[in-house]
Amino acid sequence: MDKNFINYHILISHSPSCLNRDDMNMQKSAIFGGKRRVRISSQSLKRTIRTSDYYETKFGEASIRTKHLDLLKDEFLKDEEIKKEYSDVIQDALERFVKTQVTTEENDDDQSDEEKEKKPEKKLAVAPWIKEEFKILCRIVKEVREAGLTPEEKEKAQKDHDKQKKPKKGEKKPPEYFEGQIIDKKIEAKMKDNKKALLAAVASAKDVALSGRMATSGLMTTIDGALAVAHVITTHAVDADIDWFTAVDDLQELGSGHLDTQEFSSGVFYRYASLNLKQLQLNLGLIPDIDSGETQESRNAALDIAKHLLHLLTTEVPSAKQQSFAAHNLADLAMVSFSDIPVSLANAFEEPVKASAGGGFLKPSVDALHAYWGKIHTGYGLDERTAVFSISKKPPELMTEKKTLAELENWVKNNGIETAR
């Protein structure tokens, strides 16, 4: 198998801005190398990517992330096929997809007997819903419900009902409960029979194929993410500034209509992401399992996504406070390597970069990244194919230089191999 990981290393200098805030309306930050760095969370960056126009153009419709089933139902009913074919089963399908009963203190010894007897509260987490996948589930639920139970299945449900012991409190479960259990098993069996179609449906939402999905119960399946994205941090220490601002009331004679403060800063940010090409091919339904060999066709499909991912990582910027700061900056450097392992170069900045003699953090950040890559590449004997697009400086000899981002994107699409001129 060829190199399985693509490592993306991006340097991007942002003018004064506040691109990601915490619950106190302050810039997100982190301590790294003993110094405060401004931070953009990986969640923020991934959401920016999947909601971008470029994503929709190249990858199509993203998943819908929500925990509100009532709102999701309304959203799904906007689809003509769901509205026409499955409006009578959509509620049942939604609840089966996330079926869960949990309590955080279910076995707490401090609970009273009355509290322990309470029915567990249903709690739903925000999850990615894929429309094409949900259509298949609706079809399965409808087929099983319309087919009903055979006489043998009804007889079994009745026997299970008759065999149950009367609980200390409450009543016995009705026959419908045991019939429902049989229906549940039939739906789950049909889900397994439709595994290939479900994988193809998951592949329709590239954000889930990339970022994965965690499911703890119900019919929603867990997908291992193919893309790992680090929290973005500044390459240097940052002391934030405070903007004391006013909103002038045009009809008020004296003073301001509103006074407030906003933390902001500027800096050079390091973005890192690693793409597992084999996992991506599995999530796209192009190979049957992780141990299967990849084909040229399946690898090419993954490389096409990798190419567009590079474009997104170098051009998309979180939208927070952009109407006030307009920090619409593009990447100053993009380094991509095909490798046998994921390798972050964040430690190039563990000792915070100092401003150059002429001022500025970009040039010393580029120098630090190049130097650290050389040490890791040589010291560990990494067998990598690496190429760089930079608007400020030529890369070291062991890297391939690309004059434009488009050239680097095509290099990724071509599996990191130079085409004959």
- pTM of structure: 0.88
d(CA 416, CA 397): 16
Categorize the per-residue pLDDT at 102 as very low, low, confident or very high, splitting at 50, 70 and 90. very low
Q: Is 220 helix (H, G, I), strand (E, B) or coil?
A: coil
Cβ atoms of residues 236 and 353 within 8 Å: yes
Q: Which residues are registered as beta bridge partners of 337?
A: 7, 386
**Residue 212 CA, distance from chain mean position:** 6
Q: Is 152 helix (H, G, I), strand (E, B) or coil?
A: helix
The angle at the Cα of 192, spanning 95 to 214, to the nearest 5 degrees, equals 55
d(CA 114, CA 20): 44
- Write down the mean pLDDT value for the chain: 89
**What does the pLDDT look like over 59-76, one tens digit per residue?**
999 999 998 999 999 999
Candidates 49, 6, 18, 9; CA nearest to 315 is 49
Looking at the chain, the whole-number percentage of residues with pLDDT higher than 70 is: 93
Cβ atoms of residues 39 and 240 within 8 Å: no
Cβ atoms of residues 131 and 72 within 8 Å: no
Torsion sign (Cα): 288, 290, 296, 299: positive
**Residue 224 carries which DSSP code?**
-
Structure-token pair, residue 218? 């119900």
**Residue 354 carries which DSSP code?**
P
d(CA 177, CA 171): 12
Cβ atoms of residues 286 and 298 within 8 Å: yes
Cα separations (Å) of 294 from 151, 198, 278, 286, 416? Answer: 47, 20, 7, 8, 17
**Residue 160 CA, distance from chain mean position:** 44
**What does the pLDDT look like over 268-292, one tens digit per residue?**
999 999 999 999 999 998 998 899 9
Give pLDDT, residue 97: 80
Residue 219 has pLDDT above 80, yes or no: no
Structure-token pair, residue 313? 């990582």
Number of alpha carbons in the 13 Å side-chain half-sphere of residue 129: 23
* Average pLDDT over every residue of 109-130: 59
Q: Which residues are registered as beta bridge partners of 155?
A: none
d(CA 66, CA 124): 9
Q: Is 322 helix (H, G, I), strand (E, B) or coil?
A: helix
Torsion sign (Cα): 155, 156, 157, 161: positive
* Maximum average pLDDT range among 3-7, 89-93, 106-110, 391-395: 3-7
| Strand segments (E) across 41-168 | 64-66, 127-129
Of 162-171, 321-330, 355-364, minimum mean pLDDT range? 162-171
Structure-token pair, residue 197? 């179609």
**Residue 347 carries which DSSP code?**
G
Candidates 60, 37, 55; CA nearest to 45 is 55
Residue 44 has pLDDT above 90, yes or no: yes
